[in-house]
Every structure is written in C-alpha cells, then in structure tokens.
A and B are shown apart, each in its own frame.
Chain A
Amino acid sequence: MIEFPMVSFENVTKRYGALTVLDNLNLTIARGEKVAIIGPSGSGKTTVLRMLMTLETIDGGVIRVEGEPLTHMERNGQLVPADQAHTRKVRAKIGMVFQSFNLFPHMTALQNCMEAPVKVLGLSRDEAEARSTELLEMVGMSNRRDYYPSQLSGGQQQRVAIARALAMRPKVMLFDEVTSALDPELVGEVLQVIRKLGAEHDLTMLMVTHQMGFAKEFADRVCFFHSGQICEEGEPTAFFQNPQNERSRQFLRAVLEAG
C-alpha cells in the first residue's frame, strides 16, 4: 500500500479578481508533521489554511488530503468538482482554530464543544459530554465549562476553541495566528496548550504564526511565504540561523528589530 502524504497542494492557484494571491503552490505535509508558516502580511498564509478548510474556492490545481482530492472527486477516472457529501467527508479530517476564536456566543464552553459531535458525528449527549469534558480538562478550562464566551478572557476563549476543534477528532489541525488577538500576557497559556497537544497527540499541524521563537522550538519545518509563493523552507534551526534567501533575511531582520 502506498503511504499518501497527509496533505498535498499541487499547483494550487488562487485569485481574487485580478490579484493572484497564490501562484502554483506546491506543498506536501507528512503525517504528524508540524509546519509553521511565516511571512509578511498579505503573502497568502491565511489563504492557504482557508482553502484547506474549504472556506475559499480554488482557481487551479488540486489539494489532496490522504491522497483524496478535497475540492474535486474522481468520477470515471476524471476529476470533477466535489459534491456536498464528498466535501463533508474529506473535511471531517480537518479542524481549524481562528484568530478571532469564533466561539458561539449563545452557548457555554461545554455546549460549544458538544454541539458538533452530537449534531455532525451523531454521538450521544453523554459520549459528547465525556469527550468535551476531557478536552476542556486538557486545555485547562474544565472549571469554566459552564461559562459563556463573553464571560471568558481572550486566552480562555481561544483554549475553548481549541478544545472545540479537537472534539471532532480531526487528523489535521489548522491554526491561523491564534495568539494575535490576545493580550501579550495571555499568549503563553495558549501556546502551552498547543505544545502539549504536539507532545501528546499524533496530530498533523499547520500553523500561521508571528511568534518566531515558538515556530523555531515547536515546528518540524518552516515555510516562508512571499507574494503567494514559498520562498524558502526548511528545518527551523537552520532556517532561523542561516536563511538562504534575501527576502527571508530581510523579513527576519525586520521581525527581530520589532522585538
């Protein structure tokens, strides 16, 4: 049996009108790999994650998850646009944590976590509650399970959001600048949860981040994006110590200067 990569982007192109945001992107991510995506603002980092989550359509190329095309499906040996059922089947392997949390404001932390497992996976309420409680425990939020989002700090909301995504048992987790909307003193608690997640689970993770220190320590690979293309990628220590590309060097210098 051939071992498929967990996720692969093959010549993926994305345009907004006349603007080409991603230009023939090729990126392959192995099972369990932790990839950090860095790069200047507007370089297309968010777009990569959103396409993988099917929040954006793609204009060219194919994205595969465990070998299966995401936005297309095979019919009579040809790739045709995916129907709803196919999309939902493939999408079930992916979870996402948003920069702005996007918790459901009318539900408590626990209800936020239980909603999709009950409605989408068809778990019983007891099963879903057990699973959610365990995950809230893991992110250190079990004592706040009956709080509404508006009663939680940003860091706490984001930890609930992580638990909510995990409750669907995805194979790939996407993190889009999950600490950017947080006050500085709250960043640590969320990164701590992600570290723990990386250590305890065999999840494939794709994270867009501006925390260079965290990317260096946590990721297996760093991809540096610039105007819709991967300019440089590699093992974090090597990349941060000795970037090869002029653009990466400029970017790292600017980031270091900013503190």
Chain B
Amino acid sequence: MGIRGLAGVLFLTVAVIWYLSGLEGYKIFVPGLAQGAAMTLQITAAAAVLAVIAAITAALSKLYGPAPLRWLAITYIEVFRGTSALVQLFWLYFVLPVFGITMEAYEAAVLGIGLNIGAYGAEVVRGAIISVPRGQWEATIALNMTRAQALRRIILPQAFAAMIPPWGNLFIELLKTTALVSMITLGDLAFRAQQMNQTTMKTVQIFTLVLLIYLAMSLAITIGMRVLEHRAARGILRARAA
C-alpha cells in the first residue's frame, strides 16, 4: 500500500475509534485506555531511542571493534535475540535485584525492550553497512581518509537508506512488545485492558477498542517510516555509479 492508502486506513481507524468512544457501552473505558495508551507511547519512544543507540554501538563494535569489544557485542546480540523478550523483562525485574540491582518497573521495561529490539537492530545496521559496495571503502583509502572519517562521512550515510525499511518493521515489533510490560505490572494499554476486563467483563468492547488503538499506532509508525524512506530516496541515494 502507498503512503496515501495507509493514511486513508489510519484515518478510517481513528474515525472508528472516535465513533466507538462516543457509544454508551464504550464510553466508560475511554479515560482508562487513554492513560494506558499514553504509557504505551512513552515506553515505545524511550525504548526506540535506546534500541537505536544500542544497535549502532553493537554493530560497529562487532564489525570494527577490538576482539574483547567484538565478543561483548556478539554475546549481547546472541543472548537478546536468542531468548524471549518476556524472559528478559522478568530477568531484569525479578532476578537482577538478587545481584543488588533494583529497578523501577518502568526502567526495567524500557531497558529490556530497548535492548531486545536493539539486538535485532544491530544485525540490521551491520547488514546495511556491509551492503555498501566495497569500491566505496577503496575510494576512501585512495583519498587517505581514516576509517572513522570513512564511516561517518561516506559509509553510514549510504547505509542509512538501506536501514529505514527494516527499522520500520522493528519499531512495529517494539510497539507490540511493549504489551509485555503489563506482566510486570506497568499500567500500559494491555494492562488497563486486562484490569477493566476483570472488573467489568465487557470483553468485546474493551479488546476491540484496544486492538484498534494498537492498529492506529502501528499505522502511524509505518507512515512515518515511509515518509522518511521517501526523503532518503529523494536525497539521491539510489542509482549507484551506473
């Protein structure tokens, strides 16, 4: 679907949410779900920032770091990709205190989800960097640039365009993963939904609204990333030396 089509679906979704929240059976859930949605967005944003930082750091360490740093990066990537996000959250929240590190649920949530998505992101970043043609590296050597200069000025800007679509998918994954924080008692959208479900048993109304809200958030992320992709493509990153 094109950006316009997506925007249309987003508009429709928001309209339906708007319509439903005016109806009698749904009205009472709106304030609680709105609070939950705010928490979901907040965790998503914070974890996304952490994920990007972790991904770039890990990818560069794995590619160019000295041996110990490289092994650290590989271990981080494999452990966080190899185990479940939920297990990681529980580990941060319930096990780390045993080692004397205590965290708020919110901190554990952002840290766990950010590092989890960051591990997948590291492979995306690494893939994009190594997909830059070898000739580009050779040109930087012929111009006597340092490796840091080459990375910053020549390689990363080109890798950036290739990274945007997979990061779009990762941010959607991230948003969906935030639902897990409800299981460490954080008041996000999924948590509020369960809570209200237990007290009112109006299951259909609650979960329909919640699904629509998540859908709207996902669509917004997809559209944002598509716009970014368009911008990058227009910055003439396409056609390589023909």
Give residues in A with beta carbon < 8 Å to B: 53-55, 88, 91-92, 94-96, 98, 100-106, 115-116, 119-120, 148-151, 154, 157, 164-165, 168
Contact = CB atoms under 8 A, between A and B. Distances in A.
22 contacts: A55-B138, A91-B141, A95-B143, A96-B142, A98-B142, A100-B241, A101-B241, A102-B138, A102-B139, A103-B241, A105-B236, A105-B240, A105-B241, A115-B154, A116-B143, A120-B143, A120-B145, A120-B146, A148-B236, A150-B238, A150-B239, A157-B242
Contact of B144 (A88, A98, A104): A88
A115 B136 CA distance: 13
A119 B135 contact: no
B237 A98 contact: no
Contacts of B153: 115, 119
Contact of A150 (B133, B144, B158, B236): B236
Given A54-B141, A100-B241, A104-B158, 11 more contacts: A53-B142, A96-B142, A98-B138, A102-B135, A103-B139, A103-B241, A104-B154, A106-B235, A115-B143, A115-B154, A119-B149
B22 interface: no
B157 interface: yes
A68 to B, nearest CB: 15
B237 A106 contact: yes
Contacts of A91: 141, 144
Contacts of B149: 119-120
A130 to B, nearest CB: 18
Contacts of B135: 98, 100-102
B144 A92 contact: yes
Contacts of A94: 142
A168 B145 CA distance: 11
Contacts of A92: 144
A115 B133 CA distance: 19
A168 B241 contact: no
**Interface size bucket, B side?**
20 to 34
Nearest to A94: B142
Contacts of A105: 158, 236-241
Interface centre among A53, A88, A100, A165 (most CB of B within 10 A): A100
Contacts of A149: 239-241
Interface string B226-242: 00000000011111111
A239 B105 CA distance: 81
Contacts of B236: 105-106, 148, 150-151
Nearest to B136: A102
Contacts of B146: 88, 120
Contacts of A95: 142-143
A163 to B, nearest CB: 12
Nearest to B147: A84
A162 to B, nearest CB: 12
B141 A164 contact: no
A157 B135 CA distance: 14
A149 B158 CA distance: 13
A98 B137 CA distance: 12
Leading 4 A-B pairs by shortest Cβ distance: A150-B239, A116-B143, A102-B135, A102-B139
Given A105-B240, A106-B157, A149-B241, A116 B136 contact: no
A164 B153 CA distance: 16
A208 to B, nearest CB: 15
A168 B143 contact: yes
Nearest to A121: B144
Interface in B2-27: none
A140 to B, nearest CB: 19
Given A120-B144, A148-B236, A150-B236, A106 B138 contact: no
Contacts of A154: 242
A120 B158 CA distance: 20
Contacts of B154: 104, 115
Contacts of B235: 106
A165 B241 CA distance: 17
A54 B145 CA distance: 13
Contacts of B143: 95, 115-116, 120, 164-165, 168
Contacts of B145: 115-116, 119-120
Contacts of A100: 135, 241
Interface centre among B139, B141, B239 (most CB of A within 10 A): B139
A150 B236 CA distance: 8
A119 B140 CA distance: 11
A104 B133 CA distance: 11
Given A55-B138, A102-B135, A104-B136, A168 B144 contact: yes
A113 B145 CA distance: 13
